[in-house]
């Protein structure tokens, strides 16, 4: 029996699990035998994904209206997960929002909202679940950052700054919690076909279509939510126990 295996099913929390790559991560972790809690600001989507998992024979709990930027809501949500499923041993900080604006037009309000969701959210969620992981002597945190934080992205200074912060956050937690059996890694996705990406295309944020971008991507296709879920499934497995503090790019070769 491996560390952290208490004999029962391990519990994973996926934020933003009601859409896009979060939804794919939920399905993949449920297939891999985790009981999965879906924390999403959109309660209807969280319910829908939880129902899909249960129809497939998995265990899922929807915790809707869980705004990760709100400390009290996060604490209440994690309290409910703990009470209904058990201690949380895996956290995937996936919920995020984007923005596209010339730097001089970014309002303070927009700057603060992006930071609140993309950076404060992982801070709140990690503080809420780490005590469970420390008790178990085993834990896995995966932070979904962005390839834009590796190279920069014009008109997205607020978003890129939040995601670059998440990379530093990842490295720092990895150092602090490695001795306790907890790994912390980040996946910076690049060009993944999700509702967020299609909305960016619709708003002209690409300077072209998804197909134009695919033609410039080494593997010649957009990524799928399942590509991210596969990397995430590996990072939360027992086998990945010697990998921590790492940036695992999943981007079709766009950033190396
Ligand atoms: P998505 O389809 O928009 O899914 C994100 C989910 O998070 C949505 O269900 C969204 O709800 C939810 N959410 C938003 N704000 C929240 C909050 N405050 N609390 C809880 N849940 C919240 O996006 P995605 O493309 O799958 O993106 C997932 C992650 O990957 C994000 O962190 C994103 O920044 C990152 N990423 C995506 C790409 C890409 O190519 N798609 C590239 C790099 C990084 P609503 O729909 O109601 O807002």
- The three-point CA angle 74-75-79 to 5° equals 115
Rounded Cα distance, 150 and 102, in Å: 19
Ligand 1 pocket member 192 (CB < 6 A): yes
Answer whether residue 6 shows pLDDT above 70: no
**Contact call for residues 96 and 119 (beta carbons, < 8 A):** no
Which single residue is written with the structure tokens 């991507």? 217
Identify the CA nearest to 88 among candidates 122, 140, 132, 126.
132
Identify the CA nearest to 97 among candidates 127, 124, 67, 77.
67
Rounded Cα distance, 193 and 59, in Å: 26
**Contact call for residues 20 and 44 (beta carbons, < 8 A):** no
Most ligand 1 atoms within 8 A of CB, residue of 16, 37, 42 to mutate: 16
Ligand 1 centroid distance, CA of 219 (Å): 24
Least confident piece of the model among 90-99, 152-161, 198-207, 230-239? 198-207
The model's pLDDT over 240-256, given as tens digits with 9 standing for 90+, comes to: 999 999 999 999 999 88
Ligand 1 centroid distance, CA of 15 (Å): 9
**pTM (2 d.p.):** 0.97
Ligand 1 pocket member 160 (CB < 6 A): no
Ligand 1 centroid distance, CA of 174 (Å): 24
Identify the CA nearest to 172 among candidates 245, 85, 247, 76.
245
Domains and CATH numbers, the chain: 11-240 (3.40.50.720)
Ligand 1 pocket member 197 (CB < 6 A): yes
Q: Give the pLDDT band (50/70/90) at residue 200.
A: confident
């Amino acid at each position: 029996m491996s560390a952290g295996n208490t004999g029962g099913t391990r519990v994973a929390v996926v934020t933003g699990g009601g859409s896009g790559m979060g939804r794919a991560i939920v399905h993949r972790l449920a297939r891999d035998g985790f009981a999965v809690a879906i924390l999403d600001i959109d309660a209807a989507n969280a319910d829908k994904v939880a129902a899909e998992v249960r129809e497939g024979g998995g265990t899922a709990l929807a915790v809707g209206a869980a705004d990760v930027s709100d400390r009290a809501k996060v604490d209440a949500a994690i309290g409910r997960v703990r009470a209904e499923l058990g201690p949380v041993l895996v956290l995937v900080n996936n919920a995020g929002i984007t923005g596209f604006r010339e730097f001089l037009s970014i309002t303070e309000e927009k700057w603060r909202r992006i930071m609140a969701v993309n950076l404060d959210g992982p801070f709140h969620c990690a503080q809420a679940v780490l005590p469970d992981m420390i008790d178990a002597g085993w834990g896995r945190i995966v932070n979904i950052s962005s390839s834009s934080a590796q190279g920069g992205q014009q008109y997205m200074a607020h978003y890129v700054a939040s995601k670059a912060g998440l990379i530093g956050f990842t490295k720092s937690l990895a150092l602090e919690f490695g001795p306790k059996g907890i790994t912390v890694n980040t996946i910076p996705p690049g060009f993944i076909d999700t509702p967020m990406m299609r909305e960016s295309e619709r708003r002209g944020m690409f300077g072209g279509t998804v197909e134009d971008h695919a033609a410039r991507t080494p593997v010649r296709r957009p990524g799928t939510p399942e590509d991210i879920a596969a990397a995430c499934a590996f990072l939360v497995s027992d086998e990945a126990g010697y990998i921590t503090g790492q940036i695992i790019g999943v981007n079709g070769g766009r950033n190396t």
